Every structure is written in structure tokens, then in C-alpha cells.
Amino acid sequence: MELEYEDYIVVFDEVKNMAYQYFNYHSDIQSHYKFPVNIEFSIDDLEHQSIALSNRKSEGNYLVKISAGMLKELWFLANKLSKDTNFLSLVKTSENSQKAIRNYLFYFYVDLIICHEWSHIFCGHLDFIEDCFLKGVKILSDDEFGINKILELEADSKAVTLVLARLAENYNNISSDIYGTKTSHSLERTWEIFVYSTLSLFDYWESKSNKISESHPPIPYRVFTSIMFVSGEVSDNQGIRNQLPFIGRNEDEINASFMKILIKFYIEYKNQDIENISTELVKAFKHCSKIGKGIEELNLNDYRLIKAKWT
Ligand SMILES: [Zn+2]
């Protein structure tokens, strides 16, 4: 399904609103920053590419840009998934639920992108990069533990946690819209849909772009490591745990519930065998602890724009 011109205008406005709510206006966001922070947001054509980026203009002033091409691509992926029989084996299908899934997935994806860029900013990555530039420290590297990879993984993990927090707030309504009913079964199924969708997005990017693999870590690592970090963040966030009781009560249980869906995704959706998945998992565990160490060694905490741990 194509988006019409009028639809684009509506979508652009909604996306801009989402972005500004996060960055600047949402009730207590400014109080979390260490000093006043201003983040501009724009949707541009950016030479017909599918891209999102964040820039540092000066201390406390940043810019996030998303290309129209990226929004279009997210829309197509959301639409494709909402009609995918594999994916839909998760849900009771009707035209209304298909449309509800498509729309929720689209905005969920946009949320993820906005939060990823925002995370680069509030985690202090852009200020850190500026400092590295001044000191002549190289950021980009092919090494899987290169600085660029560490920053990307951290931004992914923060973004996923932020988006899940927002999802959890509206969860009951979303589940009713998708299923037409609200039972513990449908709530849990809806949860699976969003985790599957996140995995599908990473997977889609991997299949599509060579460019991303130069600057970002390999997808299985990226996903496994993110999930481990996210489990830690979610276990600290009582709001999310209260809204989504089935995901577990502590870090280990939460991690296990994510892993269950992740393994299911690789087996059912990607047709991978369990041996392959186990090998990736072992590598990812090692990878994860090194990344955690890397974040400490880079002294990224000194660059944070926020006062304390915040998800
Ligand atoms: Zn990034």
C-alpha cells in the first residue's frame, strides 16, 4: 500500500511531535539533563537516502534528522510484516487487526529510530566524539570492539528500553486494538509481536545494507548484546515490570523471556538450527561483557548529559 501525499503530511507531523515530546517538552525531561539541552528535529530528503543521524551544533545544542526515505522504508516493512503469514501466526488475523498492527509497528519503528539518535545525544556520545576529534583519537574501526561499535550498541540498548517503557504505558490499549479483546494470552502475544518486530527490523537492515555493517556491529551480536543490556535496564524499571508482569520479576527472568522469543525468531522465522544459534549466543555473551568493560574504559560516564541512570 502506497502512502498518499496527504498521508505523508500527517505522518511527518506526528513524527515531529513524537520527537519533540521526547527531546524537549515531555513533562520532566529537562529536569533530567545536567544543563539546558535543546534538540532540533527535522525530516529531510537527505539525497534520497534512507538515513537517520544526530549532530552536535554546540554544547547543549543538537540536531536529529530523519530522511523521508527512512520513514517510507519503515512504513513498507511494517506493512509487509503485518501481512506476513509467518509473522501473523502470532495473531488472530482480520483486516482491522492487520491495519492496527501495521500502524503500531510503523510508529514503534519510528520511535526506535528517534530514541536511538536521542540516546547518542543524552549518553554524551556526540560530545565524546567531538573530544576524540580534538585529541586525534580514531572512532571508526573494523574491530568488533571499536569505539563506534560500542557507541552503537549503547544507543541501541537505551533506545529499546525507552521504547519498551513507552509501549508498556499504552500496552493494554494496543493489545485490545490488535486483538479486539484483552486476555492475558493476547497481552503476551502482543508482547511477542513487538519483540519479533524489533528483531525483524535489525534483520532487515542487515540484509539490505553493506554500509551499516562497516559502522555497526554484526546483527546477532548487536541483538544479543542489546537484549542483555535491556534486561538489566528493564529489571531496574518498576513501571515496565508492573505493566508487563509476564516478562519476569528480575534480570535473569527478563533475560530468559527475551531469549526465548529471540531463539524462536531465529528458528521459526530465520530457519536457523539450534547449533548455530548456540554458537552465536556463546560469542555474544563474551562480546557483551567486553562491551560493558569498553564503556567504562572510555569514561563515557563523564560525558553523559543526564544526571543519573535514566530509562
Ligand atoms: Zn547510531
- Average pLDDT per consecutive 10 residues, the chain (311 residues; last block may be shorter): 73 88 73 88 88 94 94 92 79 78 91 94 94 84 77 88 82 78 76 87 77 57 79 84 86 91 86 84 79 84 80 51
On whether residue 27 sits in a domain, the answer given is: no
Residue 41 main-chain phi, psi, to 5 deg: -135, 135
CA of 217 to the centre of ligand 1 (A): 11
Residue 216 main-chain phi, psi, to 5 deg: -115, 155
CA of 140 to the centre of ligand 1 (A): 12
On whether residue 126 sits in a domain, the answer given is: yes
Residue 52 main-chain phi, psi, to 5 deg: -135, 140
CA of 40 to the centre of ligand 1 (A): 17
* Structure confidence at residue 124 (pLDDT): 94
CA of 181 to the centre of ligand 1 (A): 37
Structural domain that includes position 101: 84-303
pTM: 0.89
Cα distances (angstroms) measured from residue 242 to each of 29, 39, 168, 248, 310: 22, 31, 9, 10, 17
* Structure confidence at residue 118 (pLDDT): 94
Q: Is 55 helix (H, G, I), strand (E, B) or coil?
A: strand
On whether residue 75 sits in a domain, the answer given is: no
CA of 50 to the centre of ligand 1 (A): 13
CA of 134 to the centre of ligand 1 (A): 21
CA of 120 to the centre of ligand 1 (A): 7
Number of domains forming the structure of the chain: 1
On whether residue 54 sits in a domain, the answer given is: no
On whether residue 100 sits in a domain, the answer given is: yes
Sign of the torsion formed by the C-alpha atoms of 159, 164, 169 and 170: positive
On whether residue 99 sits in a domain, the answer given is: yes
* Structure confidence at residue 78 (pLDDT): 93
On whether residue 26 sits in a domain, the answer given is: no
Residue 10 burial (CB count, 10 A): 11
Residue 36 main-chain phi, psi, to 5 deg: -60, 130
* Dihedral (Cα; 148, 263, 169, 102), 10-degree rounding: 90
CA of 206 to the centre of ligand 1 (A): 14
Strand pairing category for 61-67 and 38-44:
parallel
* Structure confidence at residue 209 (pLDDT): 64
On whether residue 249 sits in a domain, the answer given is: yes
CA of 109 to the centre of ligand 1 (A): 14
CA of 116 to the centre of ligand 1 (A): 6
Q: Is 168 helix (H, G, I), strand (E, B) or coil?
A: helix
Q: Which of 307, 298, 295 is nearest to 153 (CA)?
A: 295
Q: Which of 5, 140, 15, 124 is nearest to 65 (CA)?
A: 15
Answer yes or no: are the C-beta atoms of 50 and 69 closer than 8 Å: yes
* Structure confidence at residue 5 (pLDDT): 72
* Structure confidence at residue 285 (pLDDT): 79
Q: Residue 235 is inside which H or E element, if any?
A: helix 219-236
